[in-house]
Amino acid sequence: MTPRNITRSTLAALAATTTILTGLALGSSFFAGAPTSNAQPTSPPLPGGASPTISITAEAPPPPPIPAGLLASEKNTIEVFRTAGPSVVFVTNNALRRDFFSMDVTEVPQGSGSGFIWDAHGHVVTNHHVIQNGQTFSVTLPSGVTREAKVIGVEQRKDLAVLHFDTEGLEITALPVGRSDRLIVGQKVLAIGNPFGLDRTLTTGIISALGREFPTQGGFVIEDVIQTDASINPGNSGGPLIDSAGRVIGVNTAIYSPSGTSAGIGFAIPIDTVARIVPQLIRYGQVRRAGLGITVVSDYFARRWGVSGVVVREVFAGSEAARAGLRSIGWDRRGNPVSADIVTAIDGRGVANFAELANALDGRKPGDQVLLTVVRGNETLPLELKLSEIGR
């Protein structure tokens, strides 16, 4: 598939040394099979199972008045932090361990990250890799209150997760949600999180670039990623990237750094993607996907056959795919393929494998019409197809 712009090849090169801000003590890479020479654990392990240190009190004193004589930009930074800070939480990922002698089961913190309050019902948005491999979870508010949290839903392809905690007796405020399709390079941004376990840390910077494509597990990508020079470090992962009006415009997710600490190149998932996915995770527990309604031959066999594209394996009778004219693969008596439909593009966007097919359908809804480019023998056919829901 021809790259849409230079950013894809650039980000592919960066991916080899990209450090994910997971905060897990195990330091597992976010990328399947990623090299380990420069990829380091992005949050220090918690020694001896100790709980992360959070320097907060149960009732924080009122903030001091803003001094006179500060620049307008300084006042804006202070005001945004004071308004948004109470909505940023500390997320702890715990493992269950059984004592060899007593057989008692205890929770052992194995990593941490950040998150932010999505709504008044206690839903918290964070990164999937922050909670990955965890068994129990907790969120700590800036007031010092810690509550058990449960995973409501995850979308691994976009590195997003939603937690929920009991809000009884608490006053919480959700962060206002902005838009990422109107951002411009050079715009001021603020990142709030808990790097290295240091709660409510603020860093500032600008939007360095837009439209980046960031690879995730399984060959999928997050599109329209925001690049920023705001200092993002291990533990910031899952925290909000905020504009000067105090609106969330992204979720901090990764940095490019050979050393494992901020090198001035950080990445955030755009809020437009987050706002599309999070409501589905809250309602259904996962994303409702739109698809072609077919089964496909694995990429492994497609490569062995020398095919570039997605090979249609089975088309079900009465399905939208059947009505569109797609055909199931044909086999001879020995089990060798003799005929097959190969999808090579969707709405003019080339697809060389299943991951690229899924990326091309990302953001589409069941019922949407798409134009497929299908190779059948020596023919190239345009087929219109209505997308089907392929499960919750």
Active site members: 129, 159, 237
Cα 154 to Cα 287: distance, rounded to the nearest angstrom: 8
Q: Sign of torsion, CA 183 188 193 196?
A: positive
| Ramachandran class of 370: left when φ > 0, alpha when ψ lies in -120 to 50, beta otherwise | beta
Q: How many residues are there in the chain?
A: 392
Amino acid at site 157: R
Pairing of strands 123-126, 88-98: unpaired
The angle subtended at Cα 112 by Cα 223 and Cα 78, nearest 5°, is 75
Tokens of 240: 């909000």
Cα 126 to Cα 173: distance, rounded to the nearest angstrom: 16
Q: Quick one: which of 13, 10, 31, 14 has its CA closest to 22?
A: 31
| 387 phi and psi angles, rounded to 5 deg | -70, 145
Q: Quick one: which of 235, 197, 370 has its CA closest to 292?
A: 370
